[in-house]
Structures are given as C-alpha cells and as structure tokens.
Copies of this chain bind each other. A is one copy, B any other.
C-alpha cells in the first residue's frame, strides 16, 4: 500500500451511526483508508478532536438571480469562504425561474456563475411558473443534467404557486423522478394579515411575526402534504419553525407519506421578540417562516423533540444574505420601509454547524452521530449526493471537518466570513467549534484561516439515492390504476 497524501491521525471518527478512534488517510481527494498507524506525506494530529464529514448545507441562497434583475450579495466565492469557515464543504443553492420565461438561459447563467465556486455544489431548480412555455421540454433535460430537486413556494409575490400549479409540478416530478422541496406558508393569509397590520398602524419589523403566525405555516404544510399524497410524489418540507408544524409531518410519516423535513438554527435560538428591537434593528432577525418563541424556549423544545423523534431529518441554514446596508440590503426600500418591504432572510452558512452542535450535542439533546446525520449524511442522501458526500468511508470525497467539542466561542460577524455586514447570532455563545476543514483532500480552513480557490468547486449531479429513498405506502384512497 503506497503512501497517502494526507493522514488525519488519532481523532475520533464520527459517522451517522458510529464513533471510533482511528486514522483517516486521503489520496487524490478521496478518503483512501481508515486504519491505525497510517503513513502519509502530511500528518494532521487530531487528538481530542472529532473527525466528521464536512457539512452539507442543502438549503442556502447564493448569488441568486432575482426577477428584478438584482443578485444576492453572497457570491459563490464569498459563500465558499463562509461555508469552509463553518465546517461545511457542500452547498445546494437555487437556480431561478422567472415567471413567463423559460429556464434554460437563466440556468446556464447560473451555472456560469457557479463555475467560479470554490466549494462543491448542487442545485435546486426553483419553479415559479409551471405554465411557462417550453417547460415540458426543459424539465426532463434539467433533471437529466443532475438537478433532481424542484423548489416551489406556496407564498411570496410573485413566486407562489396555487394548488393547480403545485399539482402540475408534483405530477411532472413524479414522471421525472425528481423531489419537490417546498416553502410552506399560506400566501393569502399573510397578505390579509399584513394589510390589517399596516392598516392598524403597525409597520415595524415586529409585525413580521404577527403577519405569519404558526397556523399560516401549519396550514400550508398540511396542504403541501395532502396534495403530495394525492399524487404519491415524494416531498421535502423546508425550514419547519415549530413543533406544531412538525406534528403534521409526524402524522404524515405515520400514514406512510413519502416525506422528509428540515429545520434551521434560527428557529432554535432566535425569537419573535428579536424583531421587536428598537429602530431597524429588528429587521436583522426577519426571515420566513418567522422565528417563533417570544421570551421562552417552548418552540425550540418542540423542534428538538421532533428532531430526536426522527420527524425532522435535516438541519440546513436557509442562508439568505442580505446586508443591512448596501444596494441589495435590508434597507433597500429605506430605513423606514414597512415590514412587508424589507427583504426576508438571515445569513447562517458559517453558523449552522456550530449552533446545531452547541444546542444539540453540547446541550445533551443529541449525540455526535445525530449531528453528523442531520448536518451531512441525511442532506447528502436526500439530495442524491451520497455516497460521494456525507460520510467518512473509503471512496467518498475527502470532505472532513475536525471539530473541537469543548471549544467555547462567542459568535461575531467577523467569524462568519461572509459578504454580509451582520450576523443575527452576534454575541451567541457556543460550545464546540470547527478547527479545520478539508474539501476533497485540500485543507481549506485551519483555525479560522480560509484558503478558497475560485473554481475549485465541482458541480455535483444528483441521483436518487436508494438509501434515503423515502419508504412509503401509497395512500389507500388513491387508485393509481385509474391513471395508468
């Protein structure tokens, strides 16, 4: 057995099921061997550290093209740096579709932009207009190119789909073998409440939470599930914000629905009350669905219960980079814009792994294998990147994060290393921190110092991994034969 390029020596390897001490050897960008006393050109001492698969952030907005011609500030370049800083080695951002337009051209542009990515990436293809001309021809081609998850919005102007459009996308996905991912909130309900809040003279950021209470997300989630049952098409629910919504997903899983779901760190540590800070400050915490708990921890506990019960499969960042200042920032409509005119979303690429580890593992709610499962293995399996990504095993890409489980860190925006001018987690104390990130065998972060090479990232075509293929039962009232 010839020499290895790199050997990580003496750490505790953690997989989604197991935990054991051994060396990890890397050659040609892949994990070549697990063993003891392995020799290599370079040796990294991992004593006392956890050796885990690099994070797979399956929900993050990067350099996203918007219908108004603007582009998200966070470029593939800056996002890659931020991801590496936080221990993440794969991202799945979103390719756009604009209403009434075909996808091909925009997708090509998006792929051109992504070609500069320092970090490996796959895509979700947003579908905002299933009726656009030519889509029927484009979609098979898009899926064949390795983009196997389609994202739909049930809210937001002008993104939201109505039930007919959603059914159309479900049906198309079923034929093509694609997954549907969904932002679940009721469009009209939010519109109705927003108008009422503005009419009531409550334009401040705090109204964001009031405009979209839990029931708005719960309803849309139930509907998204029900219509997927009708079509018998697998779905993935994005950014579940509270236990009440998770409960509907638990029930669906019990009925045999082919469904997975995720939550995000903002729902563990932020609250509706954060948006009630004076002035424009509250806008920093504004994302959709809204952070819930106001002054107590009840929603976080509901989410953790759903995580440990296996209802929530993935923890993503929903990284959405809007600075406060700047020409694409939260103040784009002025510092006194009402809450409906402030861009939604919070950055979290770099913070996702650390907050999840701290609130989960360090707080005793989950173990390190659960952490790996939620942040790397499951996202890779669910979105067809496994077994190239999401595990530590010979043959897999050498995407590895070395984690110091005892390191205590206070989050600052500087630590995030993103393009955004703030973090909603400023001042949050976490226990557990990534000290080294390796991407396909290259050391891309060491003690916070990132070295990212533009264009080093590869596009990862997705397959439908049988390992994560949802096991389901066709709803008993669905007569598939009638349509064959």
**Residues of A with Cβ closer than 8 Å to B?**
1, 13, 15-23, 25, 32-39, 162-164, 167-168, 171, 186-189, 191-193, 196-197, 200, 202, 207, 210, 213-216, 218-219, 222-223, 226-227, 229-230, 253-254, 292, 305, 308-310, 364-367, 369, 373, 377, 387, 391, 393-396, 466-467, 471, 475, 477-479, 482-484
Contacts and interface: CB of A to CB of B under 8 A. Distances in A.
A362 to B, nearest CB: 13
B394 A22 contact: yes
Given A167-B189, A394-B20, A394-B35, A309 B482 contact: no
Contacts of A479: 210, 213
Contact of A13 (B214, B305, B393): B393
Nearest to A231: B192
B215 A20 contact: no
Contacts of A187: 163
Nearest to A167: B192
A366 B207 CA distance: 35
B200 A20 contact: no
A475 B214 CA distance: 10
Contacts of A377: 17-18
A479 B196 CA distance: 12
A399 to B, nearest CB: 14
B189 A215 contact: no
Contacts of A387: 18-20
B226 A373 contact: no
A20 B391 contact: yes
Nearest to A213: B477
Most buried by B among A1, A164, A197, A229: A1
A216 to B, nearest CB: 7
5 contacts: A18-B391, A20-B391, A34-B34, A164-B192, A213-B475
B35 A200 contact: no
Nearest to A211: B482
Given A34-B34, A191-B164, A219 B226 contact: yes
B213 A219 contact: no
Given A18-B15, A33-B34, A471 B364 contact: yes
A22 B24 CA distance: 14
Contact of A394 (B36, B253, B254, B483): B36
Contacts of A21: 395
A346 B237 CA distance: 40
B163 A186 contact: yes
Contacts of A196: 482-483
Nearest to A214: B477
B367 A213 contact: no
A18 B19 contact: no
A37 B23 CA distance: 17
B210 A36 contact: no
A474 B467 CA distance: 35
Contacts of A218: 226
A433 to B, nearest CB: 21
Contacts of A365: 471
A473 to B, nearest CB: 10
Contact of A17 (B17, B191, B229): B17
A25 B21 CA distance: 16
